[in-house]
Structure 1
Amino acid sequence: MNDMTQTPEMLIAMLGARARKAAAILAQATDEQKAQALKLAAQALRDAAPAIAAANARDMENAAANGLSPAMLDRLRLDAGRIAATADGVEAVATLPNPLGAIIDSSERPNGLVLQRVRVPLGVIGIIYESRPNVTADAAALCLRAGNAVILRGGSEAVESNRAIHAAMLSGIVAAGLPADVVQIVPTTDRAAVGALLKASEFVDLIIPRGGKSLVARVQEEARVPVLAHLDGINHSYVHAAADPDMACALVVNAKLRRTGVCGATETVLIDRNFASAGRLVQALLDAKCAVRGDGDVQALDTRATPAADDDWDTEYLDAIVSVRMVDGPEDAIAHIAAHGSHHTDAIITEDAATAEQFLNAVDSAIVMWNASTQFADGGEFGLGAEIGISTGRLHARGPVALEGLTTYKWLVRGTGQTRP
């Protein structure tokens, strides 16, 4: 822990200065060295699994005593399978193609100058996140492989888990000959440290928030550093009139209930008024123990459905609850998504290719799907390895942010003595 006489600003300045130095060293490291560091870190996570599980048990006990919701407890929980998957994810990042040094494009000017845009690290990244301790490992792995130093600030509910994961990974990173300061964790739960990190533009090049609306809103309001926003997932599955009934039921139930606490979960189901099996679809959700909040037409399909309030259409439940509305065709569905969605992930279920293309082109979300569960909104499922989050903004990176999203570029200009007239 930091010295109690140290202000949050002093603490962040110290971490930032160390991160800057570490980033400069990391920039000179070979890709093989970075990959080896992650392989060693992954093995260290496996070796430390009992200690990580014990730390997580303490967090779970405290979180339950503090009244954390079931969905948030699910995000916090680390069982043996999840720890193993976290280690596998870190190792998978080590095997991904190296984005650094890649030539984005190249051209030669009439005067003979040769121009190239080449991928380079961002520098120092600050990541502020809640609940999910696996983010500690994912973020560290991705930032390091992309050549960036990272300062992590997890939620107080996962403090013990985060420290245990960080300690394990650090042992592997140092064993590979890289400086320990390439991955630092803010050693205090004082919320003032978050504010200091958001204003540390001298040391931090990008802030990435991962958490609920209140966290992201605070980051966007206070930050003096560029922000890569990861907003809530108010995701929709639209069942078109030409949807296959069996497929529609399977996809909607999976999209909502496979894991209710992930940001890719469907929160609103839109059913075309001309879809003949609407009652069967609502029944499938209810029979799967999902609470359905619907409009009058939906309630008429099954008496177990309860009335939807106005704010249900704007709610990320992260629970076994779904809002369901009948719509008058694809234009109505697209309009509803535009009014209530969060630009995260939205899907259409239909056998009509023309309508599917209309939906794919018209819906302004980071991820738009056709005949697939919104639960596939995940960097690993996209073949990107572990992800840092799903960006719902429009600048720099959009959708699952992995290695490439954690880089920028610089121009390389090669001449033969040209002077400008």
Structure 2
Amino acid sequence: MGSIDPSRAFVKEVKRIVIKVGTAVVTRNDGRLALGRLGALCEQIKELNSLGYDVIMVSSGAVGLGRQRLRYRRLVNSSFADLQKPQVDLDGKACAAVGQNSLMALYDSLFSQLDVTSAQLLVTDNDFRDKDFRRQLHETLKSLLSSKVIPIFNENDAVSTRKAPYEDSSGIFWDNDSLAALLALELKADLLVLLSDVEGLCSGPPSDPHSKLIHTYINEKHQGEITFGDKSRVGRGGMTAKVKAAVNAAYAGIPVIITSGFAAENIIKVLQGERIGTLFHQDAHLWAPVKEVDAREMAVAARESSRRLQALSSQDKKKILLDIADALETNEKLIRTENEADVAAAQYAGYEKSLVARLALKPGKISSLANSVRMLANMEDPIGRVLKRTELADGLILEKTSSPLGVLLIVFESRPDALVQIASLAIRSGNGLLLKGGKEAKQSNAILHKVITEAIPDTVGGRLIGLVTSREEIPELLKLDDVIDLVIPRGSNKLVTEIKSSTQIPVMGHADGICHVYIDKSANMDMAKRIVKDAKLDYPSGCNAMETLLAHKDVMLNGGLNDIIVDLQTEGVTLYGGPSASSLLNIPEAHSFHHEYSALACTVEIVDDVYAAIEHINQHGSAHTDCIVAEDEVVAKAFLRQVDSAAVFHNASTRFCDGARFGLGAEVGISTSRIHARGPVGVEGLLTTRWLLRGSGQVVDGDKGVNYIHKDLVIES
């Protein structure tokens, strides 16, 4: 369970909840039922029911469903001549009658599969004018809820006395949003949730990248700010109707949350106090104004600070890093205390041991990080270096110079030490930075960010480095391709894949670390044994740890591989084999060659020669780091030349693929991309280039008066 947002603390007291399901949630774009969404919704309601909540549903969708079914029926029953005539609109009341039957049959079927009973209650506007009806409604609901039955309400459009209830907006209630608000008041609910096809209320149209989610609606603040947009594609009112119903209910004392019905766990998350959707609350205007994080404002501030940083002298930029290194050591005790709290919470939550290991800042780690920062500080200033100097024509000098990328967004998991490395690299390369760490390192990241930003002078500003604290802010940041220049995800394959599919900002990084060690028949077997054990055992969860061991068939035949296998198994490594190795070594067959264990496990396979090893690596690897152990120089050269990975080693452990070990000071990550930077990404990987041209009044004028010589000039130190 995530931590409860202060504005959502009231959910701890919620016992009775009214959930309104919009038409766009119930149906797909083609008008048919969205079975997957409804199934997930019913599973959430079953869970709430089993947790002891009183759950009351209001479901739209009958008219749209009925219309779709009657259109099909009319088509089936029409002759060709009938279809040539102008088509009369279907009667809305008939659509409601047919659709209501289908809708409730589906709910009954889905809930029955979950061992839950549901009940249908059809009401009209006039019913609520009758005191006896309202008294009976309470009695019926009391009986149903005491038996753990889920009541499902809908307006009985088929017999409504209004001429067109699905268009007429008068009366006590006028659509299912207002019906849900009325029922929440009538039945004394503790919370009303309105499920829609959007995340909540936005400051502009959802398609506008500058729009942002309004987490808490304050009537006086947001009334003139928001854009409601069009009506729902299938329902009656769209967001305008929802806001009107929500404001009315909240004013009467019922908290309301508008959120997406498309996400499988949103109702559960609401009741866990997570800050999703838009909250309407009668006391919202009294709450201390907590400034909501504005993703664009954070990114713009980082860019402005980075430009001030770039304007400093090399000595001043160096001093910032040295001050940060000192601050880390001065605050080591405080940092360790916060980190220990994160580690304890992770252990209590049952996280995997490999994650807890990455999370812990072990003794000596802070000093090591501080020394890495000092190493970066003492590097030559990388900004503004002349990389190439050319005389284009007489007196026309062109220089290619190094330049910061701009603003970086780094999303990383587990390791708080990564925050220090990334922040110091960003400062050294003159870039603004936005950081989002994993929730498991929340306290560690917060204290490290505070220590680092407080060491940055006011002339630059601590907003050079922004710390994103909520996962919900990431989608907003990923829209800002006009402000953020590069995204670097450091984490699981799932994290990297999600980010790549969610943004137009260039993404640099690696999804997998499927590293190979190939033992050639010419290998020194004592050396091979050392390298294999180090590559697998030194840090099994590292992205540069060996995940697949390839061996020449002769190494299998002469018993050398068997010795290595025994050593690995003695150290607790679980082995899986490819088709050849599994039968020859009597080990379980691996389900896939493209698998990152990040644990004491690896795949073993036998290959015919170095070219088979190269083909295997290029087909199944992740282009991260691959190694050959061989004494035959011809074989080694073929491997180094033909393996298409970011780092390829000869007679050295894959664990050497690391920014600090490469002498980069630190790394922001390891890139398996084939553009810009590849392998461990240090300062140089966070730079781009600019062209500076100096002349004395020259003009092109159709190139008539310019004599191009393109002469390379010596680069002055």
Whether the TM-score (by the shorter chain) exceeds 0.5 is yes
2:463 paired residue number:
181
Which residue of structure 1 lines up, in the alignment, with residue 531 of structure 2?
A: 251
1:216–1:296 Cα change, 3 Å: closer
- Amino acid paired to 1:170: T
Alignment partners' CA distance in 2, 1:15 and 1:299: 53
**Aligned: 1:151 with 2:434:** yes
Residue of structure 1 aligned with 2:595, choices 303, 306, 315: 315
d(CA) in 1 for partners of 2:435 and 2:6?
Answer: 19
2:574 is aligned to: 291
Out of 79, 90, 93, the position equivalent to 2:376 is 93
Q: Is residue 127 from structure 1 mapped to residue 127 from structure 2 by the alignment?
A: no
Secondary structure of 1:357's match? helix
1:323-368 CA-partner distances (Å, limit 9, x unpaired): 1111110111111111110000000000011100100010000000
Cα 1:3–1:111 change in 2 (3 A) is farther
After superposition, give the CA deviation of every residue in 1:172-213 in whole Å (9 maximum; x if it has no partner).
Answer: 2238x5311111211x22x22111111112321111111110
Q: Using the alignment, how far apart are the partners of 1:215 and 1:257 within structure 2?
A: 25
- Residue by residue over 1:276-310, the C-alpha shift from the partner in whole angstroms, topping out at 9 and shown as x without a partner, is 3111121121122211112465456655xx31223
Q: 1:68 aligns with which of 345, 348, 351?
A: 351
1:241-281, Cα deviation, whole Å (9 max, x unpaired): 10001000000000111011111101100011012311112
Matching residue of 2:363: 80
Separation in 1 of the partners of 2:585 and 2:673?
Answer: 38
On the 8 A contact 2:329/2:367 being kept in 1, the answer is yes
Cα offset for 1:102? 1.1
Q: CA deviation at 1:66?
A: 2.5
2:673 aligned residue: 393
Q: Deviations over 1:210-244 (max 9, x none)?
A: 11101100111011211112322100000011000
Letter in 1 for 2:522: A
**Is 29-38 or 129-138 further displaced after alignment?**
29-38
1:365 counterpart residue number: 645
> 1:104 maps to which residue?
387
Which residue is equivalent to 1:403?
683
Matched, 1:31 2:31: no
Helix, strand or coil: the match of 1:140? helix
SS where residue 338 of structure 1 aligns? helix
Q: Does 1:115 align with 2:398?
A: yes
Higher Cα Rg: structure 1 or 2?
2
User: In 2, distance between residues paired with 1:222 and 1:205?
Assistant: 15
Instruction: Confirm or deny: 8 A CA contact 1:111 1:418 kept in the other structure.
Output: no
Q: How does 1:211-250 map to 2 (within 5 A)?
A: 211-250=491-530
Q: 2:41 maps to which residue?
A: none
Partner of 1:168: 451
Root-mean-square deviation (CA, aligned residues, Å) is: 2.0
**Distance in 2 of aligned mates of 1:71 and 1:3:** 32
The one-letter code matched in structure 1 to 2:605 is R
What is the SS of the residue equivalent to 1:173?
coil
**Where in structure 2 are the equivalents of 1:334-345 lying within 5 Å?**
334-345=614-625
SS of structure 1 residue aligned to 2:690:
strand
Is the 2:407–2:433 Cα contact (8 Å) retained in structure 1?
A: yes
When normalised by structure 1's length, the TM-score is 0.94
SS across alignment from 1:174: coil
Q: Is residue 2:657 matched to residue 1:374?
A: no
- Matched letter for residue 414 of structure 2: S
Work out whether residues 122 and 408 of structure 1, in 8 Å CA contact, stay in contact via their aligned partners in 2.
yes
Contact 2:590 2:603 in 1 (8 A): no
State the alpha-carbon separation in 2 of the partners of residues 58 and 105 from structure 1: 51
Counterpart of 2:300 in structure 1 is: 17
Q: Structure 2: where are the runs of 5+ without partners?
A: 8-212, 216-275, 277-291, 703-717
Count of aligned pairs: 415
SS for the counterpart of 1:222 is: coil
Moved more, 354-363 or 63-72: 63-72
Q: Which is further off, 387-396 or 7-16?
A: 7-16
TM-score (norm 2): 0.56
Query: Looking at both structures, which has the greater relative contact order when contacts are Cα pairs under 8 Å and sequence separation is at least 6?
Result: 1
2:79 matched residue in structure 1: none
Structure 1 distance, partners of 2:6, 2:390, is 53
Give the 3-state SS of the residue equivalent to 1:151 in structure 2: strand
8 Å contact 2:303–2:431 — kept in the other structure?
Answer: no
Distance 1:376 1:301 in 2: 31
- Partner of 1:307, secondary structure, is coil
- What's 1:346 paired with? 626
1:327 aligned partner? 607
